[in-house]
Amino acid sequence: MRQIAPYSFSAAASAFCRIGFIGARCGRFTGVDDMWDVVIIGGGPAGSAAALRARQLRPHARILLLDKADFPRDKACGDGIAAHCCDELALLGAGDLIADYRPTQRLSVVSPNGAHVLATAARPNRVVPRRVFDARLVDAARDRGVEVRRHRVRALAVHGDHVAVDDVRARVVVAADGANSTVRRLIGVPAAPERHIAIAVRGYADVPADDDVQFIAMQKDGWPAYVWSFPIGDGTANIGFGMLLPRLRATGLPGREVLHGRLAELLPQLSARDLRAHHLPLSPGRPTPGVGRVMLAGDAAGLINPLTGEGIYYALVSGRLAGEAAVQTAEDPLPAYRRGLAETLGRHLRTTDVLARAAQSPAFIDAAIDTAARRKEVFDLLVDVGLGAGTVPLPLACAVAGRWLLNGLRAGGRRTTDTVRG
């Protein structure tokens, strides 16, 4: 006869812990509802897009969205919502989310050495304060059955078939907790090196209500650097100035003094208020998408366009792809997420990486803007690459390269003439 081992109280407690009736530390009763299909950390565009897409594909999935703040909350950003973002919102079933904000198609760009283009974009963009945009996204997720909680994540542990996030468990985690991601640090993914980090200050200023031109002026001093003014449509504009962090440190001056001072100097007619600075981890071309059952999206994955600092489009795309992988993959979702990023953004990210290297020369940007002023298709391409997922066809690349070479020859000729005259 087979002997049956005595069933002790400690064994029973251990069993309860394993099946989830007792919390992760076996000291707090939390109930079976602690196991979620997807836990999303961060309620910005990336996190909300992940929640919306996961719920869209699996209407009965248990999805928990955590953020350390209550919404609405301010977020330092340029507030630009490109037409490409509206495409993503439509895919998420939220196509009318910002329809009440004024569309604008006019864009004015000045290069480091003064080349200028003012043209009408192929499709309209909008400027929506993040206090409004993010709150609407979170509300849309909540309205579709996503549970939203205010919570600051402090601990995370990846197990074989689930991830423990403080006192809750998830089959999959999407980390969309921003440039200073706690989750990225907890899973051991290093932050972007300083050479790939930009810093910008953002404020708001009063402008004429009929001002509908989005303005960007690139600066040779401290290049790459630029100032912007993006009218919202209500008599105010989002204004700001940004530059690479190493260039800021090289000034030897306090960052606040440099950023605030340059903004006031470059836009003297505008009086800025609500100034806030923020870091931007620029994409190196091949971002790390996560570890195991934890996927990184948006700023947490270093998905910010290195040419423009635009990150909302990348956030919506990566969040959507993470949401898809989270509910459509039975086991490890990371390979599916990695494939989705490669198929959707791979060629584009490699393009921006190459262009960002070329753009270390202000003369390259001068040539690009000069060519865009002469050829509308080049202007549209620059918008597509800077705000969406565009790549550069060879003929247009040759056009910009040819202008770059011609400008260089002309500059060399002027220097030679000046030497002879001297």
**Interatomic CA distance for residues 148 and 138, integer angstroms:** 8
Report the alpha-carbon distance of residue 224 to residue 239 in Å, rounded: 17
C-alpha–C-alpha distance, residues 188 and 296, integer Å: 12
One domain, residues 177 and 295: yes
Cis omega (within 30 of 0) on the bond before 59? no
- Provide the pLDDT for residue 22: 30
Q: Which residues contact 2 (CB under 8 A, 6 or more apart)?
A: none
Of 47, 77, 66, 88, nearest in space to 276 by CA = 77
With 0-12 CB in 10 A as exposed, 13-18 as middle and 19+ as buried, what is 93? Answer: middle
The count of domains in the chain is 3
- Per-residue confidence (pLDDT) for residue 46, from 0 to 100: 98
User: Would 389 be classed as within a structural domain?
Assistant: yes
| pLDDT for the residue numbered 412 | 59
C-alpha 22, offset from chain centre: 38
Structure tokens, 233 = 């449509």
Structure tokens at 307: 């040419």
Give domain status of residue 55, yes or no.
yes
Q: Is the pLDDT of residue 322 over 80?
A: yes
pLDDT tens digits for range 57-87: 999 999 999 999 999 999 999 999 999 999 9
Residues 44 and 114 in one domain: no
DSSP assignment of 227-251 equals EEEEE-SSSEEEEEEEEEHHHHHHT
Closest CA to 50 of 317, 344, 349: 317
The token duo for 298 is 């948006």
Full residue range of the structural domain in which residue 100 is found: 80-128+194-281
87 and 70 in a single domain? The answer is no
Q: How confident is the model at residue 405 (pLDDT cuts 50, 70, 90)?
A: confident
CA distance 366 to 348: 22
- d(CA 300, CA 304) in angstroms, rounded, equals 10
Examine residue 206 and state whether it is found in any structural domain, yes or no: yes
- Mean local confidence (pLDDT), 2-10: 32
Choosing from 227, 248, 281, the residue where a domain stops is 281
Report the pLDDT value the prediction gives residue 403, as an integer from 0 to 100. 80
Number of H helices, E strands in the chain: 12, 16
- 90 and 160 share one domain: no
Confidence of residue 331 (pLDDT cuts 50, 70, 90): confident
CA-to-CA distance for 198 and 279, rounded, in angstroms?
6
Q: Look at residue 414 in the predicted model and tell me its pLDDT.
A: 55
Answer yes or no: do 270 and 294 share one domain: no
* pLDDT tens digit sequence for 207-266: 999 999 999 999 999 999 999 999 999 999 999 999 999 999 999 999 999 999 999 999
User: Would 21 be classed as within a structural domain?
Assistant: no
- Tokens 């060399």 label which residue? 412
Side-chain half-sphere exposure of 226, counting CA atoms within 13 A: 23
What is the model's pTM?
0.89
Task: Provide the token pair at 166.
Answer: 């403080």
* Domain termination residue (choose one: 308, 336, 355): 355
pLDDT of 388 strictly over 90: yes
